[in-house]
Chain A
Amino acid sequence: MSSRDRILGRVQRALADVPQDDTPYEQAIPRDYLREHGARRVAETVDLLAENLADYRALVHRCAAGELPTVIAGLLADRKATSVLVPPGLDEDWLAATEVTRVADRPESTPQELDRVDSVVTACAVAVAETGTIVLDGGPDQGRRRVTLVPDHHICVVRVPDQVVSSVPQALERLDPTRALTWISGPSATSDIELDRVEGVHGPRTLEVVLVESGSGPDDPC
């Protein structure tokens, strides 16, 4: 007998008490928890995102669409970055104001090569205000998972308010489970020394999030 059959057989015998007509999944789970916590105007949701990102030590910057290239160039300059990883589908305009050497993540690039790059600039798939989280789904403007992992400095651009949701349930609705997803809430951290949080272990130790107002008016009514 294969172990698969053995385990499934054990499970079935263990569940002899469960009736054939046991409550189906749809009715077994009460879904009376909230879809989001509190009522907020769109602008307030964006403010909450900025606040929660900063609370977990991400550096938050806000700007209008036209200012984005200058802001990114400034962040790279402040960091004294000489090279920046660029996902294949990143909007070329975003890096229009910087002279820093662009590095592409080719399939044959080794992790050691990526480790020599100073910074990485990406977009994101969605951002969650209540938890201060950005989610990457490996889209062309975000690149492979490793590009946002190995360099020590990650600049992530969030288009607000379009890419911002309030809550975790709303974020999951927007995401495609077949893609490799990375949820990021602040820079790498640990609670392993005396259960107290310290920032900066293996992932990027500096996370900068740029909230860029997408085209239309910044303060649309809810």
Chain B
Amino acid sequence: MSGTYLGMPAFPVAAHEAVANETLRGNLRHATHTIRAKRAKAVAEVSDWAELREAGKRIKDHTLRHLDRYLEQLEASVTAAGGTVHWAADADEANRIVADLVKETGESEVVKVKSMATQEIGLNEALEAEGIHAYETDLAELIVQLGKDRPSHILVPAIHRNRGEIRDIFRSEMGEWGRPAPEGLTDTPAELAEAARLHLREKFLRAKVGISGANFMVAETGTLVVVESEGNGRMCLTLPETLISVVGIEKIVPTWRDLEVFLQTLPRSSTAERMNPYTSMWTGTTDGDGPQNFHLVLLDNGRTDTLADEVGRQALRCIRCSACLNVCPVYERAGGHAYGSVYPGPIGAILSPQLRGTQSAIDASLPYASSLCGACYEVCPVAIDIPEVLVHLRERVAEGGEVVREGNKVVLQPAKGHAAERAAMRAARWAFTHPGALRGGQRLASRTRRLHPRSLPGPGRAWSGTRDLPALPAEPFRDWWQRTHGSKGAAK
């Protein structure tokens, strides 16, 4: 994934700094609480939400289980419709393909639709190194790009910025990139949106190359779908002569009909709308309408490694709605940057360590960036059991074991720093398999309960530093059961 994130500190370190930033916490709290209530209302409007969610989950699972077949079908459909399909095993290869395609056009600038896949591979930086300027056109991406900042949310990458900060960035930076911000720009959202419209208009109208991702690709028809709000997507998908779409291989759905599920669940989950303002669907090229050259770059970059994990592969069902971020108590306080990835929040905590592997400090810490409260699972429109995958990945970090990296099986060593956790688990296993010892230990613990400290000593201090130790009962449960029900049990 993007080099921007290499060397990120582990989540607890980064989060510790973030929670001390009161402006950031205020901005995040305001934004996530606004959208939470709206999403609940939008979802409550459809009485068959549970059925739609289940259908979405099954469509994605089925596709993933037969991904090779659907990839080949998609390639054939897109090609038949006039598009050209490219395959990229990793970020470097995808960036090279895109840079070469842009150079072939003779252009030195491109306009971009907001796309997680191109963020993930660091496309803008790679193009810049080749002398090609990539202009982000989504409002939030523009704010991030102008502010030389990093995205902190899947849907609203500038969620950590409030209107006043956005106005300041527009005032000081827009002139560097093109048309300056209007004189006397205030911080009302309508004026800020107007400033973005004026700034980007000239770029849209002269653009010869557009770059996008896609929300869905239909294998049966070769149709790509981009869901958006502002119209910047339509501009990039319609006005240029050449369109290059970089899309993760997991974005496939088998049939045209399958869109009927996701076009109902995605807008309600992400922006809490019945339908987003604009959805574009295109199948290859259309004579005399829109780009006459269409390239689709199919991106692996860790997705097949994720697919190899029978528990973890469900993360590939994700449709990037960001509902899980908006309900997450950890995300709300720590913010997106602490996750050290373009995929923050609960979905990022299971996606990043699978796409990138768990070797780095940040990736090894992400599965622990959760209280396992399960709110993310509850709102997920494709029912990804994020807590299940988090626990699975914690086990992988603590215990090591066999995983697939870049298509090859490798055996991971248990991570350092989890010795106390492993020792505690071993002790628990021993105790639970020796009932006599367990009973003796429980009685001893109950009788000495007045002497127990309020926090644990040694390696346990980190755990009890943020948690209350459970209060022990005066009598162990099994003794109580024996005393009150013992004779009945024996009579049976």
Q: Which residues of A contact B (CB under 8 A)?
A: 2-4, 6-15, 17-18, 22-23, 25, 28-34, 37, 52, 56, 107, 110-112, 115, 128, 130-133, 138, 144-146, 149-150, 168-169, 172, 177-204
Contact = CB atoms under 8 A, between A and B. Distances in A.
Interface stretch (B274-282, B447-455, B467-475): B274-282
B159 interface: yes
Given A56-B273, A192-B156, A145 B238 contact: yes
B55 A29 contact: yes
Contacts, number: 262
A201 B51 contact: no
Nearest to A110: B205
A184 B205 CA distance: 21
A85 to B, nearest CB: 14
Given A25-B254, A191-B156, 10 more contacts: A10-B304, A29-B58, A29-B258, A34-B51, A52-B274, A192-B143, A193-B193, A195-B31, A198-B189, A200-B190
Nearest to B300: A7
B461 interface: no
B264 A177 contact: no
Interface in B217-241: 218, 221, 223, 229-232, 234-235, 237-239
A60 to B, nearest CB: 15
B376 interface: no
Interface string B69-103: 00110000000010000011100010000000000
A177 B139 CA distance: 29
Nearest to A138: B289
A184 to B, nearest CB: 6
Given A33-B48, A131-B275, A195-B35, A182 B193 contact: no
Given A168-B264, A195-B156, A203-B278, A3 B89 contact: yes
A152 B304 CA distance: 44
Contacts of A169: 257, 260
B281 A2 contact: no
Interface size class of B (residues with CB under 8 A): 35 or more
Contacts of A144: 288-290
A195 B239 contact: no
A178 B289 CA distance: 13
Interface in B165-209: 166, 189-190, 192-194, 196-197, 200-201, 204-206
Interface stretch (B60-68, B343-351, B362-370): B60-68
B105 interface: no
A200 B237 CA distance: 19
A182 B234 contact: yes
Contacts of B223: 177
Contacts of B30: 194
Contacts of A196: 34, 189
B231 A201 contact: yes
Contact of A7 (B55, B87, B193): B87
Nearest to A145: B238
A33 B231 contact: no
Contacts of A186: 277
Interface in B123-159: 137-140, 143, 155-156, 158-159
A203 B234 contact: yes
B163 interface: yes
5 contacts: A12-B68, A15-B68, A131-B275, A183-B275, A193-B193
B278 A181 contact: no
B48 A11 contact: no
Nearest to B409: A13
B304 A11 contact: yes
A58 B67 CA distance: 41
Nearest to B240: A111
A191 B261 CA distance: 23
Contacts of B138: 192
A9 B407 contact: yes
Contacts of A3: 87-89, 93
Nearest to A55: B274
Contacts of B477: none
A172 B260 contact: yes
B49 to A, nearest CB: 9
A185 B274 contact: yes
B404 interface: yes
Interface string B233-258: 01101110000000001000011111
B27 to A, nearest CB: 7
B412 interface: no
Contact of B404 (A14, A107, A115): A14
